[in-house]
A and B are shown apart, each in its own frame.
Chain A
Amino acid sequence: MSTENAFQISVPDDSLSLLRQKLALVSLPDELEDAGWEYGVPLADIRRLVDRWANGYDWRHHEALLNAELPQFTRDIPVDGHGTLNIHYIHKKSDTKTAIPLLFVHGWPGSFFEARKLVPLLTQNSEHHPSFHVVAISLPGYGFSKAPSKKRFDMDQYAEVCNKLMLALGYDEYVTQGGDWGFLITRKIAHLYGPRHSKAWHTNFPGGQPPSLFTQPLDFLSMLINGLTAKEKEGLQRVQHFIATGCGYSAEQGTKPQTLGYSLADSPVGLLAWIYEKLVAWTDQYPWKDDEVLTWVSIYWFSRAGPAAAGRIYFEVGEGEPAKQMARFSAHESTSIPLGISRFPGEIVCFPKSWSKNLGKIVFDREHDGGGHFAAYEKPEALSGDLRDMFGQGGPAFGVVKGRNGYD
């Protein structure tokens, strides 16, 4: 049976030394005058971050902080057709014995690190709100989990790993929270394992489709007659802009992740730029501190499978075709368990609310005034507030997990 091992992040000295050596040899490109952010990450930002990374940034300090804050473990999880993968995860229990087991699933370029601020809030004891036992998995190929070694590790497999992890931890019933790939994966978990194991799901990255005459006749007609609100229009324009100018990473990762991978594995500055661009573009004016960015990116640099593995999810889900990837995001997947949605205005894909109607059994839907794609990291209080309201006493998903309603 799977055995759990306590895990501490402990990057070998060799790896730190190699990083330092590479940074010492860094070659930076030229830049057009007044380029700003138009062509990608500005040179001044990268110069500053590289200088800090080489000089002053203390990985050991941040490594120790993470180990102190986040109890981590690894265990072997067998995946049909893919052998056994050693999976890394955070598992922080609340003092409340009957806390609700919650699985947090990250995306790209996220990691378990995104749950850092959410964990203490969700596990916090109180008679006024429910608490949770939080499991934040490192998806295969991310963080300190092993990567798949065979082709076609797709949504079903990611969902299988997640479900098996929760079951292995003794959580026969649980709820999930996910954004980015975490949305698709937790939706698949809801589809495959709900309501037997997955009892409710919450997302900050709702997909959806425009209403059609057949699926949502009233919404469809309303859209035709009344058009979209100014806010909805603006949201769709942002989606348009994202697709036209911000999806190159997805096209490359979705077609030639190996080719790209040589750069990301060999060049820390290349990896830094690749990820940092999204950390800035996808957040809602989050005031990134340099060390914060460097810790985020260092997790990718020092990841167990190396930085190239993480991008493969794009290829597998789209079968090598980005258009298929997009279709998977929008395609309907039937789920029967309660769904909660939190909407943050800086999200990259902001569909009109009516487009999410068919996502599932929506019992909670809240809009926020600020925050972007990395909601758990940018707005942990707002997100934990939403989860507390959704699952708390009087909330629409109160008591979904038998015997674990989140209170003492």
Chain B
Amino acid sequence: MSVESPFIISIPQESLSLLQQKLRLASFPDELDDAGWDYGAPLTDIRRLVARWSNGYDWRYHEAQLNTELPQFTRAIDVGGHGALNVHYVHKKSDAEYAIPLLFVHGWPGSFFEARKLVPLLTRGSPDHPSFHVVAISLPGFGFSEAPRKKGFNLDQYAEVCNKLMLSLGYNEYVTQGGDWGFIITRRMAHLYGPKYVKAWHTNFPGGTFPSLLGQPLSFLTMLFHFLFPSFNPQMQAGFDKTQKFIQSGSGYNAIQSTKPQTLGYSMADSPVGLLAWIYEKLVVCADGYAWDDDEVLTWISIYWFSRAGPTAAARIYYEVGGGNTQKLGELMGTPEYTASIPHGISRFPGEVAILPKSWAKSNRKIVFDREHERGGHFAAYERPVDVCGDLRDMFGRGGPAFGVVKGRDGYNS
């Protein structure tokens, strides 16, 4: 049976030394005049961050803070065909007796760290709103979880690990929250394990499928109309433009990670500067004007640098789930898995990388909650924790559309 061990992040001193040695030898590229962000992360930003990382940034301080705020554990989880993987997770219980078990699933370049601000909000007990027992998993290959050793660790395997974790914690019924890969994984979980184990799922990365004439005639006709008269709905057109721009000019990382993650991985494992730039670019471009603090960025990226499996392993999810070619991931995103046996909630943030018409999410989902926000981007749980928490409370609270989905755990004390 799986045995839980408490876990404290405690990076060996020699790892910190090695990082410092590498940073001291950092070599920077040139940059074109007035490049701005056009060609990628600007040189001044990276120079400044590297200077801070080698002088002034205190990993031990942030490590201690994380350990204080987030109770962490590890346990071995057996995954069919892949043996046992040691999985790391945050598990913070609420004071509320009947809190709702909620699994938070991150994506790339995210980690359990993304849930940092959400955890205290969700676990807080109050008669006025529901509260949650929060589990934030480090997906295999991320954070302090082991990485898969064999090829073919695919969507079903990620879903299996997540489900088994919740069951092993005694949460036979639970709800999920996820964005980015967390959306794709929790959607698969809803498909495979709902309604028996997964009772409801919420996402901030709605995605969607182009409506079909037969399946969603009204949506289809709306699209046809829009193609003929795009100026009639400028907001919808703006969403398409943004999405298209991301696909055309912002998805190079996706192309390389879904085809040659090992080749890229040599850089990521060897160069903290390279890893920093690779992730920092996304933190800025995909968030909605979030005012990143340098130390915040460095902690986020240090988690990748110091990760148990090393920085290379994380990107393999693109290859495994994307099928080793560049088209499959897009297809996967757009393919509507059947999840309508359980209620679904959506929070829409304007800075998200892909903005599709609301009706496109309908296919094969039972949407009971759909709220738009004025601010916030891809890393919603981190950028707008109050909004995400508020939405979850409204979705699952008394009078809410998913109230009481988990038997005997409605989120309140009585």
Contact = CB atoms under 8 A, between A and B. Distances in A.
A20 to B, nearest CB: 11
A58 interface: no
Contacts of B40: 256-261
Nearest to A38: B324
A315 B207 CA distance: 28
A38, A306, A312 interface centre (most CB from chain B within 10 Å): A38
A43 B262 CA distance: 8
B34 interface: yes
B252 interface: yes
B25, B40, B261, B266 interface centre (most CB from chain A within 10 Å): B266
Interface string A253-277: 1111111111111110111111001
Contacts of B276: 262
B266 A32 contact: no
Contacts of A79: none
A25, A42, A148, A243 interface centre (most CB from chain B within 10 Å): A25
Contacts of B293: none
Interface in B248-294: 248-271, 273-278, 281
A31 interface: yes
A25 B270 CA distance: 8
B257 A248 contact: yes
Contacts of B254: 251
A309 B28 CA distance: 11
A125 B40 CA distance: 49
A39, A150, A254, A272 interface centre (most CB from chain B within 10 Å): A39
Interface stretch (B146-154, B230-238, B395-403): B146-154
A267 B266 contact: yes
A267 B270 contact: yes
B274 A262 contact: yes
Contacts, number: 225
A10 interface: no
Contact of B268 (A148, A257, A263, A308): A263
Interface in A273-321: 273-274, 277, 305-309, 312, 315, 320-321
Contacts of B274: 262-264, 266-267, 270
Interface stretch (B169-177, B196-204, B310-318): B310-318
Contact of B269 (A27, A251, A305, A323): A27
A38 B151 contact: yes
A207 B23 CA distance: 43
B33 A263 contact: no
B40, B148, B281 interface centre (most CB from chain A within 10 Å): B40
B33 A308 contact: no
Contact of B263 (A34, A147, A277, A320): A277
Contacts of A258: 29, 31, 35, 39-43, 277
B327 interface: yes
B191 to A, nearest CB: 26
Contact of B46 (A31, A251, A262): A262
Contacts of A247: 255, 259, 326
Given A18-B27, A38-B151, A260-B40, A272 B266 contact: yes
Contacts of B255: 247-248, 251-252, 322
A40 B313 CA distance: 13
Given A29-B266, A40-B264, A321 B38 contact: no
B273 A249 contact: no
Given A39-B261, A147-B30, A244-B325, A256 B252 contact: yes
Nearest to B39: A258
Interface string B317-345: 00100001111000000000000000000
B261 A264 contact: no
Contacts of A38: 151, 324
A312 to B, nearest CB: 7
A32 B149 contact: yes
Nearest to A305: B30
Interface in A13-30: 18, 21-22, 25-30
A206 to B, nearest CB: 25
Nearest to B275: A263
A30 B28 contact: no
B267 A32 contact: no
B12 to A, nearest CB: 14
Nearest to B46: A262
Nearest to A261: B29
A255 B256 CA distance: 12
A28 B252 contact: no
B26 A25 contact: no
B32 A27 contact: no
Interface of B: 18, 21-22, 25-35, 38-43, 46, 147-151, 248-271, 273-278, 281, 309-313, 316, 319, 324-327
List the 5 closest pairs (A to B, CB-CB), nearest first: A270-B267, A263-B274, A259-B40, A40-B263, A40-B262
13 contacts: A29-B262, A29-B311, A43-B262, A147-B30, A149-B33, A247-B259, A248-B260, A248-B326, A252-B253, A259-B40, A266-B274, A273-B262, A274-B267
